Amino acid sequence: MKNELIQKLTSKTAVIGVLGLGYVGQPLLLRYSDIGFKVIGFDVDEEKVRELNSGHSRIEHILDEKINQAVQTGFEATIDFSRVAECDALILCVPTPLNKYREPDMSYVVGTTDMLKPYVRAGQVVSLESTTYPGTTEEELLPRIEESGLKVGEDIFLVYSPEREDPGNPNFETRTIPKVVGGHTGACRDVGIALYEPAIDQIVPVSSTKAAELTKLLENIHRAVNIGLVNEMKIVADRMGIDIFEVIDAAKTKPFGFTAYYPGPGLGGHCIPIDPFYLTWKAREYGLHTRFIELSGEVNRAMPEYVVSKLMDGLNEKGKSLKGSRVLVLGIAYKKNVDDMRESPSVEIMELIEAKGAVVAYSDPHVPKFPKMREHNFNLLSVELSEVTLKEFDAVVLATDHDRFDYDEIYAHAQLIIDSRGKYRHVNGKVIKA
């Protein structure tokens, strides 16, 4: 069974099923389609499925022409999970958010596994790519897949291979980002390598699914902790009258032992604000408290309030209160030059501003309409920046530094700028550094 499946994967005669057609699933399905595999995409969102089948992606950086090309070469999207039986490989790319108690919400992983469970068969490989805590593959997927009577490692193969997408980063694409692969057994790992080897330039095998799961968490915890450190340093430097960006630029000239991280208004994205809590939650099962990780999380979660406090200071200097003021937030995507809103600190800043009695609006060239979100909702359209519109607001808060903003125009016409990204670090006067 193993050798037959590996032969299908290496010869590109296998059918690839991608479950979850979002920021991770779409680049992956396009890559497999590009290199000649038949790909079937599964999602529960009927409208998204219709759009993809008609050649349209909702994701800004994924061009419609790429989706069209995939459709023309055989890609299909469907809500019919019975078609799982047609696939030789099943790759799960579903969300793993936190619940309101900041604990892992595994409902998407479990729900998707339950939906495919009646249709799995011998000769398939199931790979989970969703970021999660160590043990998820063994504890949640393994027993559900073996309920059908199939033996994992002999009849069917189980893999964990964490996604490493970086939306909007022109320096990397799915093919060029090394792929960590861990299997439940040695045979599972071998099949997992065969699954990803045709599509990815470098495969990094590890000894188990748990090791692969922890690898993903370490990558993002490393970033979250260092961002927490530099955010705290920003507050200290500001109190001392020192430009933290000048300090970082000077420190990064050291050719060893230092990596530059930059402060901002908080953490955003589908991984970095969430992943550390997956490990802190699981560590409690072992009687451990990850104090260092939790402390960095506290610092990062406090940054939107820090930005709003600087906004209040700036308005006070002009004899105004936040209550009743009109405030424009510049950039609501979680990072520059993308339309990705997941866990964006800009949204929390908007909610804090509104809660204090101000009128809030936003401008984002990548997000023309505020999207439907699980926990946040603003019935707003993006404000087009101009001399007239900028002068209508008592303050603008630079939350996400998109390249498409005209920073000279903003400076010329805004009454007050709260800069959380260091774009106006060399400018005084109407700029409050936050």
Among candidate residues 266, 394, 249, 275, the one with its CA nearest the CA of residue 331: 266
46-53 and 64-72 helices cross at what angle (nearest 10)? Answer: 80
CA 327 to chain centre: 27
Q: Is there a contact between 161 and 180 (Cβ–Cβ < 8 Å)? A: yes
Listed in sequence order, the residues at least 6 apart from 174 whose beta carbon sits closer than 8 Å to its beta carbon are: 27, 28, 30, 31, 165, 199, 200
3-state secondary structure (DSSP) of residue 160: strand
In 80-124 the beta strands, taken as DSSP E runs, fall at 89-92
What contacts 24+ positions apart, CB below 8 Å, involve 72-76? 73/33, 74/33, 74/38, 74/39, 75/29, 75/33, 75/39, 75/40, 75/41, 76/39, 76/40, 76/41
Among candidate residues 314, 300, 291, the one with its CA nearest the CA of residue 235: 300
Q: Which residues of 359-381 are buried (b: 16+ CB within 10 A; e: fewer)?
A: ebbbbbbbbeebeeeeeeebeee
**Among 87, 93, 188, 271, the one annotated catalytic:** 271
First to last CA, the chain: 59
The structure tokens 């059908």 sit at 148
188 in active site? no
The set of catalytic residues is 271
